[in-house]
Structure 1
């Protein structure tokens, strides 16, 4: 599912959230509990407003399961659900901030301690100022890519810190 596909579902519900924000919620829920079900995320992210169409629930379930698989992969293939690179920079920057807001919301709904790796940085990313002059756009593009890479790594670190791998001991 693409960013625009998810945004279409959100617009049909007249929700104030964005695709990036609800994806951030999903990722946070998976960081806190790798066994979280798609239905838990759908109920949390889409609780208000009219009911979702069944086909939208199927699409959302698929997105959640895909996100879960990518986060569990050892290949570091997980990525944030954000607008494509050919979209205007302002839209991409706003979506990044919204993703961070969703992630923080998702973390805050269960995690009572604010002490987890990267929490302060992610909070700061919600306050980014992308009011740019024309000559600053290339630098801003590079900064945005760096922030996205940082967030990808931070998510994987947070997930591993909050969901330590179970050690399997061999019985002789």
Structure 2
């Protein structure tokens, strides 16, 4: 799904919410509880004083369900929802920070019920550190670091999902 489409839709409801942060929240919730509902996620994200139209709700539900499918897949196809590579690096780094903030929020919303392994604690600590990245990035070195961090996050989220979603019987409504 195009980042810009999701981002524009969310900005209509909450100007401070980006598509990256919303996807991070969805990913965090689903890592902890793969049975969580899209309605629960939308409730955590959106202000009900400005309800989404039917088309917007369907698009966001599709994003959530696609995220669920990719996290559960053995194909390693999960990817962070971030701006396209043709955007300025500083915009992509800002989105990456927002994705990490959303992910940490989502793991909290997902009602983590189990003690974390040292590896999982380390991954969450790394994600928390990524929320502090400098956004004035430019040049090949910063681009390479961005790609490396993005790939690390992609792999780390899949590892966390495998460890954290041990009780798929709990449904968040």
- Shorter-chain-normalised TM-score: which range? 0.7 to 0.9
Post-superposition shift, 1:13? 1.2
- Structure-to-structure mapping, 1:124-135, within 5 angstroms: 124-132=129-137
| Gap regions ≥5 residues in structure 2 | 169-173
SS of alignment partner, residue 140 of structure 1 = helix
Matched residue pairs, number? 163
Shifted more, 47-56 versus 89-98: the winner is 47-56
TM-score normalised by structure 2 residue count: 0.87
Q: CA RMSD in A?
A: 2.0
TM-score normalised by structure 1 residue count: 0.88
Partner of 1:146: 148
Post-superposition shift, 1:45? 1.1
| Gap regions ≥5 residues in structure 1 | 167-172
- Structure-to-structure mapping, 1:14-93, within 5 angstroms: 14-47=14-47, 49-93=49-93
Partner of 1:94: 94
- Deviation >4 Å, runs of 4+: 112-116
Post-superposition shift, 1:47? 3.5
Cα distance in 2 for partners of 1:113, 1:141 equals 36
Post-superposition shift, 1:16? 1.2
Greater relative contact order (Cα < 8 A, sep 6+):
2
Cα distance in 2 for partners of 1:112, 1:98 equals 25
